Chain A
Amino acid sequence: MRYRVTIENSSEIYPCSEQQTLLQGMEQLGKRGIPVGCRGGGCGVCRVQVTSGTFSKAKMSRSVISEADVSKRVVLACRCTPTSDLSISVVGKMERALSSEHLIQTEDDVSVAAVG
């Protein structure tokens, strides 16, 4: 079964099967929008809020997703599979990456990320 995932920040829409995580579905099609980190629920970079629809989720590192996050449907895209059509909003710390063409940043951005 394939579902339709809408990334609200970028209006990107892509199909994602219930055998794939939201992040796998996006990456496999070469789409952009959700920042890609470790893909294992550990780093918290692919943090999204599910604004509509249903999903199932696997274990996520507690240091990046709190119980309060989960109650607000804030999850990691690498650990969630859709069980209906979904709308998501990217809320991670790399949100700014959405506004640039690609994830390689200028040197100024690198210094901010590394030092500040």
Chain B
Amino acid sequence: MAFKGVLRPGLIQIRVLNMGEAINHYQNILGLNIVTTEADGRVYLKGWDEFDHHSVVLRQAESAGLDYVAFKVDSDDYLREIEPRIVAWGLEVDHVPAGEQPGVGPRIGFTLPTGHRIELYHQIDMAEDHPGINNPDIYQRRPEGMGASRFDHLLCYGPNIGKAREFFCEVLDFYQPEKVDLPEGDGSLAIWLTASNKAHDIAFVEHEEPGKLHHVAFLLQDWNEVGAAADIISINDVSLDIGPTRHGITRGQTIYFFDPSGNRNEVYAGGYTAYPDHPVRSWDFDHVGKGIFYYERTLNDRFLTVLT
């Protein structure tokens, strides 16, 4: 197997202000399926094309935002072997016991210099309601709402993103398909990192305040589905940010909107296939508008300042 170590961002726990409103949004608008609701009130959901038990965890809290994102790794051995490398790089590692989330084995967690909590895990049960395996149909039943097929990636805002790049690339063997340079010096304003063939599994923008969430993205199949998502946003009076449009960076077709607690969501289709031997695509600071919003060719203030 050529694809080793970290496989993908597999779990994300998001804080919401009102669980009823959040369930309506993630289930009926995005089209995720509820897997289970547990005694502590957390609600577990998944996209129709995901095999694992769940991918999205909603937790009702006093503040919106990101609790953590967890990456699935290829083996228990990797999970054991990576821990001392993380510690040697300088991060403190803690342990989350198996069963803290239903169907999920032991996890390890640490906080990046950007203020974001990252976790790694290997074991997770297969979902009862999983995509077909033997002579599989394209789907088991027609998805609801936008029909988001999976949790795809996230964009985090925080300080020290250069350190985050170093950590992901040197310790977890990610690579960097794309970046936006700062107007002066060697640093980056924004970086796109991946462990896979996707143009990004996680991205960062340099920002003063640590631990902020810019958006959580879900995959759609094509541009038509992005258009249908825009229809659903208007039909249901969902808070729209921008789109449908396209990114210069990653080349994805996209629409941004907000969940009822103000967490930004993206539904996304397309984008190029990344390989670790490709050059890092670079955007000069004075081209960042086109990089982020390829059709508008200008950044809006909201993209840079509206975070949870």
Contact = CB atoms under 8 A, between A and B. Distances in A.
Nearest to B60: A59
Contacts of B286: 107
Given A61-B63, A61-B261, A115-B189, A42 B301 contact: no
B123 interface: no
Interface stretch (B109-117, B200-208, B219-227): B200-208
Interface centre among B208, B259, B261 (most CB of A within 10 A): B261
B65 A40 contact: no
Contacts of B189: 114-115
B258 A40 contact: yes
B261 A40 contact: yes
Interface in B260-308: 260-264, 285-286, 288, 298-302, 304-308
A40 B206 contact: no
B101 interface: no
Contacts of A115: 182, 189, 206
A45 B65 contact: no
* Prevailing SS type, chain B contact patch: loop
Contacts of A94: 301, 305
Contact of B65 (A42, A97, A107, A114): A42
B258 A42 contact: yes
B206 A43 contact: no
A36 to B, nearest CB: 7
A78 B256 CA distance: 18
Nearest to A40: B262
A61 B193 CA distance: 30
A38 B189 CA distance: 23
A39 to B, nearest CB: 4
Nearest to A105: B301
Contacts of B205: 114
Interface string B57-84: 0000011110000000000000000000
Contacts, number: 99
Interface in B162-179: none
B261 A103 contact: no
Contact of A37 (B182, B208, B259, B262): B262
A16 B194 CA distance: 47
B36 interface: no
Nearest to B258: A38
A44 B62 CA distance: 13
Contacts of B306: 37-38, 43, 45
A72 interface: no
A93 interface: yes
Contact of A61 (B62, B206, B239, B299): B62
Contacts of A63: 63-65, 308
B259 A40 contact: yes
A40 B285 contact: no
Nearest to A115: B206
B17 interface: yes
Contacts of B302: 36-37, 45, 103
8 contacts: A37-B262, A42-B258, A43-B305, A103-B300, A103-B301, A110-B304, A115-B189, A115-B206
Interface of B: 17-18, 62-65, 182-183, 189, 205-208, 239, 258-264, 285-286, 288, 298-302, 304-308
Interface of A: 35-43, 45, 59-64, 93-94, 97, 103-105, 107, 109-111, 113-116
